[in-house]
Amino acid sequence: MLELRNITKRFGDVLANDQVNITVAPGTIHAIVGENGAGKSTAMRIAYGFYTADSGEILIDGTVCPIATPHDAIARGVGMVHQHFMLVGPMTVAENIVLGAEPGSALALDRAKASADIRRLSDEFKLAVDPDAIVDTLSVGQQQRVELLKALYRRARLLILDEPTAVLTPREVEEFFAILRSMRTQGKTVVIITHKLSEVLAISDEVTVMRDGRSVRRLQTKDTNAAELAHLMVGREVLLRVDKPEATVGTTKLSVRNLLVKGPGAIARLDRVSFDVRAGEIVGIAGVEGNGQTELIEALAGLTPPSQLSGEVRLDGQDITRLGARIRRELGVAHIPEDRHRRGLLLEFDLAENSILGVHYRKPAVAYAGGIFLDNPAIRRHAAGIIDAFDVRPANPDLSARALSGGNQQKLIVGREFDLRPTLLLVSQPTRGVDIGAIEFIHRKLIALRDSGCAVLLVSAELEEVTSLSDRVLVIHAGRIVGEVDPTIATVEQIGLLMTRGH
């Protein structure tokens, strides 16, 4: 159906695709796996005409096709659903789908025909999407199906899906996979880009593994397993399981009582939450994203305006509810934020400057306490220490943070926050968008920090990460903590039910 032959693409100094070969058989679900920056998305964007390859050929149905724009791709029956949806929120599903391919005359949109066409398509693929619903009122999972419909409406025979499950709950993932299977039975071909090995094994017929911009292997899914795929992706043996000793729990470090955070419109985003975190333990917060986790961590880090919150937060018995971020840091609270580009890094600044964010006014960033002149040699030594200890690559303090891969950016942040020698670590999505090798590294560091007596509060959208790292798991739903489970006993299904239904 689709074949990429010796595709090479260079962005500046970076070779994003190097002689990539991918063959997708018609009527199959083909997974493309690889670490972040392995070139998966680039290859598929070339197939969709988003980028033009520097060299190489694209074949569709066995003939060489020049695909210069997404328009060409659509004309050949190739559709793509992006990681970030491209929908117009206030418009209806039907209006969104026909946008750019409206039926009727140039002046009058034939709404009835559009609506009927879409309903027929939706039924055919069991998508259960109402063409007349306003997009903003739909859940993320439904919006994704609108994106699918958009491609199907343009008669796509091959659908490229870029990390489609990243935004879905476990239950929605199941439903989504059912849809993909029904599309396959209807004769469609699906390419799914992912870095989650469990999904590859669950849904695909064939896999292409990519590493460092090259396609390293094409495999039949039934002939492979997670360990082999991980090995191919990283290029070495990887420990997929987290090994951790029993926790030695100390005194209560963080004590949260009836914490309430108001969002816009005075709606409680976090609703009277109470819990404790003790020294030497990792407490995990499991929940579907957007159920108050962000508000919780930001409130604990001192980033929420006091006017928006009520309740009480104590650190080592001291009331810190109304203290700002700087004082909390001085009291030993470190914070690895969920969005490293928005919160965690100054992307235009170099690594040395990023290494002192939050401690830029005290030693070693300034030569003497209270001084205002930055001690650049000391800052560079400080950065070099973090870069060395946390294996940040390339190990050059003068490089801008933007030049680093996601995994290395994350290692820099983790290193910076660990360097505070915190008594409480707030950590959110520690391994999001981070490649497998770095995930393993960050997990080991978190366990080591716990064993040194730090209290850790962990939020992650990856249920497996929460259950494997945490000593206790609290489940959050609609801004409330709805239960506590023992991760060594509870099953994923039990936690999943609590996450989605709240009981």
Partner 1 sequence: MKLLRELMFPLIAVLAAFVLGAIMVLIVGDSPIQTYALLFSSALSWPDGIGYTLFYATPLIFTGLAVLVAFRGGLLNIGAEGQLYVAAFATAWTAIVFANLTAWVLLPLCFLAAIVAGGVWGAIPGLLKARFGSHEVINTIMLNFVAVALVSYLTQYHYKAPGDPIMETTTIGAGAHIARLGRFIPGFPERIPLNLTFVFALLACLLVYLFLWRTTWGYEIRATGSNPSAAEYGGISIRRQMVLAMAVSGALAGMVGVNEVLGYRYRYYDGFSANYGFTGIAVALLGRNHPVGVLLAALLFGMMIRGGIFVDAFTNHVSKDLVDVLQGIVILFVAAEAMFRGPFAQYGLLKRSKV
The verdict on 128 binding partner 1 (CB under 8 A) reads no
At 291, which amino acid appears?
Answer: N
Alpha-carbon gap, residue 432 to 416, rounded angstroms: 18
Window of 67-75, 113-121, 264-272, 295-303 that interacts with partner 1 by CB under 8 A: 295-303
Closer by beta carbon to partner 1, 348 or else 484: 348
Residue 293 burial class via C-beta count within 10 angstroms: exposed 0-12, middle 13-18, buried 19 and up: buried
Using CB under 8 A, which of 12, 90, 187, 265 touches partner 1? 12
Closest to 364 (Cα-Cα) out of 287, 419, 298, 304: 419
Using CB under 8 A, which of 111, 181, 214, 343 touches partner 1? 343
- In the complex, minimum distance from the CB of residue 197 to partner 1, in angstroms, rounded to a whole number: 19
The verdict on 79 binding partner 1 (CB under 8 A) reads no
Closest to 91 (Cα-Cα) out of 121, 147, 136, 130: 136
Alpha-carbon gap, residue 261 to 244, rounded angstroms: 34
Q: Site residues for partner 1, window 423-452 (CB under 8 A)?
A: 432-433
The one-character DSSP state at 50 is S
Closer by beta carbon to partner 1, 131 or else 344: 344
The verdict on 415 binding partner 1 (CB under 8 A) reads no
Closest to 199 (Cα-Cα) out of 503, 462, 472, 475: 462
Residues binding partner 1: number (CB under 8 A): 46
The one-character DSSP state at 340 is I
- In the complex, minimum distance from the CB of residue 53 to partner 1, in angstroms, rounded to a whole number: 14
- In the complex, minimum distance from the CB of residue 413 to partner 1, in angstroms, rounded to a whole number: 10
Window of 126-134, 180-188, 298-306, 490-498 that interacts with partner 1 by CB under 8 A: 298-306
Closer by beta carbon to partner 1, 160 or else 180: 160
- In the complex, minimum distance from the CB of residue 31 to partner 1, in angstroms, rounded to a whole number: 18
Closer by beta carbon to partner 1, 188 or else 340: 340
Closest to 292 (Cα-Cα) out of 263, 321, 266: 263
Residue 81, helix vs strand vs coil: strand
Using CB under 8 A, which of 342, 368, 488, 489 touches partner 1? 342
Alpha-carbon gap, residue 43 to 216, rounded angstroms: 14
Window of 54-62, 187-195, 224-232, 299-307 that interacts with partner 1 by CB under 8 A: 299-307
The verdict on 347 binding partner 1 (CB under 8 A) reads yes
Q: What is the CB neighbour count within 10 angstroms for residue 490?
A: 18
Please enumerate in sequence order all residues whose Cβ is within 8 A of that of 217, keeping only pairs 6 or more positions apart, or say none.
208, 209, 232
User: One symbol per residue from 393 to 412: x for binding partner 1 (CB under 8 A), - otherwise; what is it?
Assistant: ---------x---x------
The verdict on 140 binding partner 1 (CB under 8 A) reads no
- In the complex, minimum distance from the CB of residue 329 to partner 1, in angstroms, rounded to a whole number: 6
What are φ and ψ of residue 154, in 5° steps? -90, 20
Closest to 147 (Cα-Cα) out of 134, 158, 135, 132: 135
Alpha-carbon gap, residue 471 to 244, rounded angstroms: 10
Strand bridging mode 252-262 / 78-81 = unpaired
Asked if the peptide bond before residue 305 counts as cis, ω within 30 degrees of 0, the response is no
Closer by beta carbon to partner 1, 335 or else 477: 335
Closer by beta carbon to partner 1, 242 or else 325: 325
- In the complex, minimum distance from the CB of residue 326 to partner 1, in angstroms, rounded to a whole number: 3
User: One symbol per residue from 352 to 391: x for binding partner 1 (CB under 8 A), - otherwise; what is it?
Assistant: -x--xxx-xx---xx----xxxx-x---------------
- In the complex, minimum distance from the CB of residue 13 to partner 1, in angstroms, rounded to a whole number: 9
- In the complex, minimum distance from the CB of residue 54 to partner 1, in angstroms, rounded to a whole number: 11
- In the complex, minimum distance from the CB of residue 297 to partner 1, in angstroms, rounded to a whole number: 11
Closest to 413 (Cα-Cα) out of 458, 362, 354: 354
The verdict on 196 binding partner 1 (CB under 8 A) reads no
Closest to 333 (Cα-Cα) out of 294, 302, 366: 302
Q: Site residues for partner 1, window 35-54 (CB under 8 A)?
A: 36-37, 41-42
Q: Which residue do the tokens 């039934």 mark?
A: 222
The one-character DSSP state at 134 is B
Per the structure block, which two tokens stand in for 127? 């998508």
- In the complex, minimum distance from the CB of residue 233 to partner 1, in angstroms, rounded to a whole number: 16
Note the residues at the interface with partner 1 (CB under 8 A). Answer: 11-12, 14, 36-37, 41-42, 83-84, 301-303, 324-327, 329, 335, 337, 339, 341-349, 353, 356-358, 360-361, 365-366, 371-374, 376, 402, 406, 432-433
